[in-house]
Amino acid sequence: MVKESTIGSKIFDGLLLAILLLITALCLVPLIYTLAVSLSEKSAAAAGRVWLWPVGFNFNSYKQIMGDGAFFRSFLTSVQRVVLGGIISTGIGTLMAYPLSKSPRQFRLRNVFMWFLIFAMLFNGGLIPWYMTMKSLGLMDNIWALVLGGGLPVFHVILIINYFRNLPKEMEEAALVDGAGPWRMLWSVFVPLAVPVLATVLLFTIVYHWNEFFHGLVLMSRQDHYPLQTYIQQLVVIIDAANMTEDQYKRMNELSNQTLNSAKIFIAMIPVLVVYPFLQRFFIHGITLGSVKE
Amino acid sequence: MNNRSFSKHYYLMLLPGMVWLILISIVPMFGIVIAFQDFNPGAGFFRSAWIGLENFDYMFALSDIRSIFFNTVFIAVMKMAAHLVVPLVFALMLNELRLALIKRWIQTIVYLPHFLSWVILAGILLDIFSFSGPVNGLLKALGFEPVLFFANSTLFPFMVVASDVWKEFGFNTIIYLAALTGISPVLYEAAAIDGASRFRRLWHVTLPGITTTIVLLAVLSLGNVLNAGFDQIFNLYNPLVYSTGDIIDTWVYREGLLNLQYGLATAVGLLKSVVSFILIIISYALASRFANYRIF
């Protein structure tokens, strides 16, 4: 990059930094606010006196959550969903990506399968037919509804395919000469070489399963089957009351237990914050790989 | 190579994924027959009465329909434009920053909201913008009347667009930043030697260098014209803002799963799926023709 040191340029640099830092702070402020409210006194939070620092610092909300069975049940449901979903999606996706990374010369029906996948990714039957299908498959009120309900993540499969296709051909040829079959080839040659993309896909799947709330809402008929996001959605969502007035809307905000809800919201964020540093190491590469190729 | 014998194994590898795909994605496509039936869940797809296009006739006669289509397109198009421009400006600003360490920190922080769910962010935003929340506290302190941001039907669509930009702009800069690193430093040096100022370099080197990327992203976003963001609106809206905030997806959910109007809701959903599918195909065709884009 060209260096420049005129006074105008220096002022510009200072201004630029200030604006960028301000925008960046804007991304963090809501999260800090939530943490501050969760550690504040109830009355202070309700009166709107809490900004970015707790008022009347205490751990009451967190203590209360410790004894909340429903919260923990939902938390465990989400953990179970993330573990099963992460393993199954990434495993099946990798298995599928291998044959589809071959050329049509090596695997004759490759393009037929490929177009089938693309079609399934771009067109969908809509909410009601999906719901009816899930119902008739018995995918309701059990963990498998949550694990499988999103369907095969075709986009992730495509990411893995593209990565496999860009690996050096010499590796494969060498393994072939040494007598490796397709399973051996996938497991001992392709998977170890594709760790960056597999990690990206795994982390994306984990975040997806942790964050997804809608399947929990429509496929679980009982509240004690809800995953954590659905549980929280029930706390913060405005109840669908016909002919609602502005006063009722205000009242609903006032009646909610702000400090407790903020603590629950903050705990629900923690797993994402924990995987985020790992996620960040991989996703930039994964994203640019799948999107813009020049 | 002994391809013949490998193929058998290839099919085996595809099997679990294909079963999953067919059960959850393909079977529901046949379920769109519900749109042409007076569907009764007890009788199922096969024994429900056929009524032809009656659901569609009814749909086009409903006054709701015009407003949910309008709301959807209005919010979605505003989002498309904002998601194209805001990340571009931010990426250009970040690109001008010479402090590598701070640049990395900024990137790390602005990507974060993308990974948090709308349930969580809606919970936080509804609190911050509530009647007694900090934003209204600030307005009151400055002598303004408090505003019900998410319960005001005039403001609601703009609040939706703004909060979506806030959540996604950081993540959307990734592709621009990747494109910016692809511009050869030699071009900047040559421009500097020719006496080009920073702004002229931005205008004559940086922008032309990423035009392809900008056009490509614009074209690919076409498929989203009917996607106003279900997760977001579902968690932020309330009956007070149905007139401007209710979109196709939220309407289909309420009408179909809460009011049990299966046929009607499926018909509306089908219309959306078909239009979106056509738009995506057009956008991919344009992208592959003009920017040499390939999905695989």
Nearest chain B Cα to A258, which residue? B127
- Give the confidence band of A247 by pLDDT, cuts at 50, 70, 90: confident
Q: Tell me what percent of the residues of chain A surpass a pLDDT of 70.
A: 92
Which CATH number do you get for residue B258? 1.10.3720.10
Question: Which pLDDT value is given to residue B4?
Answer: 59
Domain presence at residue B132: no
Mean pLDDT, to the nearest integer, of A69-78?
Answer: 94
Whether the CB of B32 is below 8 Å from some CB of chain A: the reply is yes
Pairing state between β B37-38 and B49-50: antiparallel
Q: pTM value?
A: 0.91
Residue spans of alpha helices (H) in chain A: 7-38, 42-46, 60-66, 69-100, 110-122, 127-136, 143-148, 154-165, 169-177, 182-184, 191-193, 195-211, 214-219, 228-236, 246-255, 258-290
Q: How far is A3 from chain B (nearest CA, A)?
A: 9
Cβ atoms of B251 and B64 within 8 Å: the answer is: yes
Question: Which pLDDT value is given to residue A292?
Answer: 38
Domain presence at residue B259: yes
Report the number of distinct structural domains present in chain B: 1
Domain presence at residue B103: yes
Domain presence at residue B223: yes
* A19 has pLDDT over 60: yes
Q: Tell me what percent of the residues of chain B surpass a pLDDT of 90.
A: 69
Burial class of residue B120 in the structure, from the number of CB atoms within 10 Å of its CB (0-12 exposed, 13-18 middle, 19+ buried): buried
d(CA B83, CA B80): 5
Q: Which of A35-49, A167-181, A203-217, A236-250 has the highest mean pLDDT?
A: A203-217
d(CA B140, CA B146): 6
Q: How far apart, in Å, do the first and last CA atoms of chain A sit? A: 23
| Structural domain range at position B169 | 53-115+154-290
DSSP class of residue A224? G
Phi, psi values for residue B51, rounded to 5°: -130, 15
Nearest chain A Cα to B268, which residue? A126
Task: List pLDDT tens digits, range B166-215.
Answer: 999 999 998 899 889 889 889 999 998 998 888 899 999 999 999 988 99
- Give the confidence band of A172 by pLDDT, cuts at 50, 70, 90: confident
Task: List pLDDT tens digits, range B113-150.
Answer: 999 999 999 999 999 998 888 999 999 999 999 999 99
* B49 has pLDDT over 70: yes
d(CA B175, CA B280): 20
Look up the ipTM and state it.
Answer: 0.90
Domain presence at residue B145: no
In DSSP terms, B37 is beta-bridged to: B50
Average of per-residue pLDDT values in chain B: 91
Chain B residues touching residue A100 (CB < 8 angstroms):
14
Q: What is the largest CA-CA distance in chain B?
A: 80
Whether the CB of B117 is below 8 Å from some CB of chain A: the reply is yes
Average of per-residue pLDDT values in chain A: 89
Chain B residues touching residue A259 (CB < 8 angstroms):
none
Contact B32 A287 (CB under 8 A): no
Question: Which pLDDT value is given to residue A291?
Answer: 43
Chain B residues touching residue A288 (CB < 8 angstroms):
174-175, 178
Q: How far is B277 from chain A (nearest CA, A)?
A: 6
* B249 has pLDDT over 50: yes
Q: Tell me what percent of the residues of chain B surpass a pLDDT of 70.
A: 98
In sign, the C-alpha dihedral spanning A289, A209, B230, A158 is positive
Q: How many residues does chain A have?
A: 294
Cβ atoms of A146 and A198 within 8 Å: the answer is: no
A5 or A15: which carries more pLDDT confidence? A15
Question: Which pLDDT value is given to residue A294?
Answer: 33
Helices A69-100 and A228-236, axial angle in degrees (round to 10): 130
Residue among A182, A268, A293 whose CB faces B10 most closely: A182
Amino acid of residue B96: E
CB neighbours of B11 closer than 8 A, spacing ≥ 6?
Answer: A99
Chain B residues touching residue A43 (CB < 8 angstroms):
none
| Domain boundaries along the sequence of chain A | 7-58, 66-290
Mean pLDDT, to the nearest integer, of B223-231?
Answer: 94
- Give the confidence band of A243 by pLDDT, cuts at 50, 70, 90: low
The CATH number of domain A66-290, selected from 1.10.3720.10, 3.40.50.300, 3.30.2270.10, 3.40.605.10: 1.10.3720.10
Domain presence at residue B269: yes
Question: Which pLDDT value is given to residue A290?
Answer: 47
Question: Which pLDDT value is given to residue A240?
Answer: 60
CB neighbours of A130 closer than 8 A, spacing ≥ 6?
Answer: A124, B24, B28, B31
